[in-house]
Structure 1
Amino acid sequence: MRRILVYGVTGSGKSTLAARIGRRLELPYHSVDDLTWEPGWVAVPDEVQRERIAAICATDSWVLDSAYSIWKDLPLGRADLVVGLDFPRWRSLGRLLRRTARRIVLRTEICNGNRERMRNLFLSTDNLVVWQFQSFGRKRRRMRAWQADPAMPPVVLLRSPAEVERWLAELPQHR
């Protein structure tokens, strides 16, 4: 396993898991947020996102923490493994709310100098909670369809934090 895509719904813990996999296997981890958002929460144009992701996917080893619809074909075409976080909605939503509240209070930088604000949680058109509700079913169905599709790379669906920890513990640790 040298090319790994971590996939899941908003708030499921994709970035945290992808970074942990990268450290455990000594693979370069790439934060998709860093590749798709510029300072001031300016979205990177779709064609530039594709170029950035294509460049990463062309390398021999990587861990990505998402796959946006406009370029998901790129990592899926090269991945050795897809790890899906298939948690219940209540767990992902709870994680999203706690994470966002913590980032707002601590003014934590997320990507390229960007920070979450209270309006991003409830008031803006880019509302994280609304997005989580809108995308939850679609992303969950997608992960499950990938797992059932023999043309796809192997897909591991992890359904709880305990399963994540057991799976991580079974990965070879590089020294």
Structure 2
Amino acid sequence: MAGPSRILVYGVYGSGKSTLAEELARRLGLPWHPVDDLTWEPGWVEVPTAVQRQRIGAICRQRRWILDGAYGPWLDLPLAHADLVIGLDYPRWLSLWRLLRRTARRVVTRETICNGNHESLGSVFSTESVVVWHFGSFAGKRRRMRRWQAEPGGPPVLLFRRPADLERWLAGLGPGQP
């Protein structure tokens, strides 16, 4: 049996979705499409929802892809096409620690992210801060992942609650194997 060729990596902000998606793309030879690059333009201008749906829909109609997240207005698209959902269901303290560490590094180094944007101290302390989003979305995303895993009819869901469990799974993953 061939391994999955359409993978949605899902979790809260700071859980490691992009890092995992990049690693899976390398190991499995699948194209990775960073969601933030598809949803944010330079100057932190959000791509209109209709355009986001078009972009994600075009990717999801392809035979091979990895997405490192899914937002509510178009969550239905990758779920309808995915062969596998990998949920990073880590404790809040871990994902928040990772998020704070990553955000601090990006502010200090002025690392370029999603189409030439930069995180700043102003963005960290704004109401639109990724840290605020983390707190606002944590419980809902966690419930959603657990519901997907429990409900038949959707794509298979691998739910990882500890990084060590994910690392063990990755260690056993060969090219083309789920």
Instruction: Please give the range of the TM-score, normalised by the shorter of the 2 chains.
Output: over 0.9
Q: Deviations over 1:15-67 (max 9, x none)?
A: 11011111110000000000000000000000000000000000000000001
Distance 2:103 2:132 in 1: 14
Give the 5 Å matches for 1:71-90.
71-90=74-93
Q: Residue 110 of structure 2 is aligned with which of 101, 107, 112? A: 107
Q: What residue in structure 2 maps to residue 127 of structure 1? A: 129
Distance 1:8 1:64 in 2: 12
Give the letter for the 1:111 counterpart. C
After the TM superposition, which of the residue ranges 5-14 and 126-135 deviates more from structure 2?
126-135
**What is the CA-CA distance between 1:125 and the residue it aligns to?**
2.0
Distance 2:122 2:173 in 1: 39
**What is the CA-CA distance between 1:173 and the residue it aligns to?**
2.6
**What is the CA-CA distance between 1:14 and the residue it aligns to?**
0.5
Gaps of 5+ in 2: none
Distance 1:7 1:15 in 2: 9
Distance 2:71 2:16 in 1: 16
Give the letter for the 1:25 counterpart. L
Give the letter for the 2:137 counterpart. S
Q: Residue 42 of structure 1 is aligned with which of 45, 65, 72? A: 45
The share of aligned pairs that are identical, in percent, is 65
Q: With structure 1 as the length reference, what TM-score do the two structures score?
A: 0.97
Q: With structure 2 as the length reference, what TM-score do the two structures score?
A: 0.95
**What is the CA-CA distance between 1:120 and the residue it aligns to?**
1.7
Distance 1:112 1:52 in 2: 15
Q: What residue in structure 2 maps to residue 94 of structure 1? A: 97
4+ aligned runs moved over 6 Å, structure 1: none
Aligned pairs, how many?
173
Cα RMSD for the two superposed structures? 0.9
Give the 5 Å matches for 1:51-70.
51-70=54-73
SS in 2 for 1:142: helix
Q: Deviations over 1:112-164 (max 9, x none)?
A: 00011112212x12122221111000000000000001011000001111111
Gaps of 5+ in 1: none
- Does residue 1:16 correspond to 2:16, yes or no? no
Distance 1:66 1:95 in 2: 16
SS in 2 for 1:114: coil
SS in 2 for 1:157: strand
